[in-house]
Amino acid sequence: MRKIVLASSSPYRQQLLRQLDFPFIAVAPNFVEKIDPSVAPELLVRHLALGKAQSLAECYPDALIIGSDQIFVDQRRRPVGKAGNLQAAFQQLKQMAGRTHCFYTGLVLFDSRTGTVQTDYATFFVSFRKLSDDQIHNYLQREKTFDCAGSFKVEGLGIALMEKMEGEDYNALIGLPLIKLVSMLEVAGINVLGS
């Protein structure tokens, strides 16, 4: 089997990829993310995912490199980044409460041997419950999600913030659209369910 590299230091993406039960290595990409709010989210996440994957091509010249990136956008399609601290996280969640927002997750499978690129993206919609200030503070004190886009993660207590979630692949919400990835790997000659 070809060497498979996940261009990510995210423990969440690594955990998701382990579900496919094949060997891979995870390497932090050498890529600086620049969020340009004037670029459509579906284009931006594909560009960022490609940059991550291609940044490892010289180090892994005969590998299949997986890149993925995600942005969270508000109702006006403006990117919502990582808060970084408690006060900013509180403001993000307060503004999102009672509304529906969308995650865009870009996915790239880059063959560093041939230069072939497969790229796609997935969307996932989250509708927040109406939340009191105390509920938001309690959530942030317990989860400390300042490093997460939108200041929440549904794989933990963040599920209690939700009223409804909709999308084709729940894994895209966490950061790696596995359904699309399986199809890309098959095109590249890797049959995840093969022997």
Q: Is 69 a catalytic residue?
A: yes
Q: Which residues contact 76 (CB under 8 A, 6 or more apart)?
A: none
HEC-encoded secondary structure of 144-182: CCCCCECCCCCCCHHHHHEEEEEECCHHHHHCCCHHHHH
Coil, strand or helix at 37: coil
Buried b (16+ CB within 10 A) or exposed e, 1-28: eeebbbbbebebbbebbeebeeebebbe
Q: Are 146 and 3 in contact (CB under 8 A)?
A: no
CA neighbor of 161 nearest in space, from 172, 170, 169, 152? 152
Those residues with Cβ within 8 angstroms of residue 29's Cβ, 6 or more apart along the chain or in another chain:
7, 8, 51, 52, 53, 55, 56, 67
* Active-site pick, 21, 36, 62, 69: 69
Q: Which two tokens stand for residue 5?
A: 């590299």
Active-site residues: which are they?
Answer: 69
